Amino acid sequence: MNRQDVIKFGQLALQKGMITQEQLREAIIAFQNKDNLDEFIQIFIEKGFLTSTQVSILLEKVKKANQIGHYKIIRQLGSGGMGVVYLAEDLQQGILVALKVLNPELSRNKEMLSRFFREAAAFRMLEHRNIVKSYGEGRDENQGVFYIAMEYVEGQSLADLIEQKGQLSPDLALDILRQVVIALQVAYEKGIIHRDIKPENILITKDGTAKLTDFGLVKIKDQKHISLTQTGMFMGTPHYISPEQAQGVKNLDIRSDFYSLGITLFHMITGVLPFDSDSALVICQKHLMEPLPDPADYNKMVSPALTELIRKLTAKTPEERPQTPKELLEMIEKVRMGSLH
């Protein structure tokens, strides 16, 4: 067990009234230069602070605190408004997973719980190498939390890759774009729209495979649900949001995802965001009103064909954008060949 378990053990013993604050402090001082729970426990026993029975009770509680469903928590991978994502071990299958746990407070919010289950439903419907795989969802009755178990991707997010490199080469950016469009095509064929395309939601494996993740804002065709737009909130991330999303249009389609993908492509090859501000409202207004800057002004390696592709993806009206993933994949291939025409 790791140092986090040592901390949990001491906190639990104190919370249960088995030891005093002074005894815990004394044990921590004696524990210095040691690094495992067994040594920590031995200190309590040798000093007479805890009995073997009390130790057994506490160890069982530490074990339960480290487990959600049949998943053993290893460490935290990330966190956000919806909850926390952990690296965990599936104790039944013996594999590593990314375990997304909904914030317990949000589980009492019908809209947020609905959003969480929509994501779980979308993951169940989609299976492709360019989409993060789902292993299932559930509720831990002991801890009272909902979770989704997903494929653990060893690599980094596209956002991290952009931050690391500054600008991606046009060839690399087009390859990532192509893979994400393939993922969107799989979703499109199932009647699913992602609605939150951005670099943070695209994971890149060590072998260069792009995987689309985070279907928390997904819209599933013919499925009734409460939309956050009904409460006066737009859905999506302001820097990548489509003009129609910014306006609160309810009947979004794949062309909205294409716009967000176009902004992501601009970000990949330039290293900057086309529209920025400290105000989310101002950013939305820019998406609606301002023309897109010329990506070639930021990166001289951007070809006229690539610039044209970005402009088509980020057209202000959906009718001016590619209409289907198949059409967009054909356009990407033409750009790689040197011309859209």
Catalytic positions, written as ranges: 196
d(CA 236, CA 250): 12
Measured CA to CA, the distance from residue 113 to residue 121 in angstroms comes to 12
Three-state DSSP class for residue 94: coil
Place of tokens 């779980």: 120
Kindly tell me the burial class for residue 176, based on how many C-beta atoms sit within 10 Å of its own C-beta (0-12, 13-18, 19 or more): buried
Are 307 and 296 in contact by the 8 Å Cβ rule? The answer is yes
In 3D, which of 170, 176, 175 has the Cα closest to residue 157? 176
Distance of CA 40 to the CA centre of its chain: 36
Q: What is the CA radius of gyration of the chain?
A: 24
Alpha helices in 32-169 (DSSP H): 37-46, 52-65, 110-125, 158-165
Report d(CA 216, CA 200) in Å as an integer.
13
3-class DSSP assignment, residue 301: coil
